[in-house]
Copies of this chain bind each other. A is one copy, B any other.
Amino acid sequence: MTTIAIDAMGGDRAPADIVAGALDAARLADLDIDVVLIGDEARVLPLLPSELPSNLVVEHAPEVIEMSDDPAAAIRSKRASSLVRCAEAVRDGRADAMVGAGNTGATMAAALLRWGRIRGVNRPAIAVPLPIPGSDRKQLLVDGGATVDPEPAWLAQWARLGRAYATVRFDTAEPTVGLLSNGEEPGKGDALRKAAHGLFDDIPGFIGNVEGRDLMRASADVIVPDGFTGNVALKTAEGALLGIAGMVFAVLDRPEFAEVADPIKLALLTAAADLLPDNTGGALLLGVQGVCIISHGSSSATAIVNAVRVADQSVRAGVVDRLTEAAGSAV
């Protein structure tokens, strides 16, 4: 039995979609979980049935951290927020993991400030799962946006943490690792990449530099950028996919294809479902003393259910212990 704390107030569609997702997750027959749904009771309770599932409790938290709030300041000033209370539920042992779709920086700050870092880890990183079109495999992008301006050694540390997590997440025995750069040759890169490259040489599974076009492709299981580049790459891929999808549907909407378009659109949407952020299952915050799953900002109920699945899997696999071991292995 795993207990998952869910921030009911975080995300563009909060609280309605988050509450719906929490309820769905609690009702899943194949998950053996308890759910602690934390948020403003006045807004959360009306969204729930009068008879709650026996494995779901609501915990009142009067304050809300907004997307526009400064992360560190919000954690300090909004101590009664649903986000801070989620982190405290894990710290105090009332939950085994937390799931949030709100302000990413604030979620990270809450986990860092309430749990602390894993010994030996300098800065946390977000391990974002990337789908690979036409494949069941996924990649981890580490860091997807937690830490900008890292030192070279931190990149190598994230590679080790990402690799340890990939074994849990994807059940891959020996994950491969690539350093994201602007060319495949070892000498390619900016100052950060050139300094980091040598530190990667003794990381098991290191295949060398990879490039932007190796994202969302069966290249390396773990791809390591700094958090700034990782964030730009993620959003660039998202924008490109949306742009081309719009173009494809505009073509199918032409009058000459009116009679055949619908089944093709349906087949395309089904094929593309695995690419949608709602279905990739949320990102693990690597390097903190607890399991924190960050779901994307516009999470639907489905996204929350998938994030809860990943949280449960991470707890059962003892991911914090595995990451602690991985962080120690470089010393």
Contacts and interface: CB of A to CB of B under 8 A. Distances in A.
A211 B230 CA distance: 12
Given A180-B232, A251-B271, A215 B190 contact: no
A227 interface: yes
Interface string A238-250: 1111111111101
Q: Determine which residue in A148, A183, A211, A243 has the highest number of CB atoms from chain B within 10 A of its CB, and name it.
A: A243
Q: Is the interface of A mostly helix, strand, loop or mixed?
A: helix
Interface in A240-281: 240-248, 250-252, 254, 256-257, 260, 263-264, 267-268, 271-272, 275
A212 B241 contact: no
Interface in A151-185: 180-183, 185
A252 B264 contact: yes
- Contact count band on A: 35 or more
Contact of A215 (B239, B245, B267, B272): B239
A244 B246 contact: no
Contacts of A252: 264
A133 to B, nearest CB: 4
A55 interface: no
Contacts of A213: 235-236, 238-239, 242
Contacts of A239: 212-217, 237
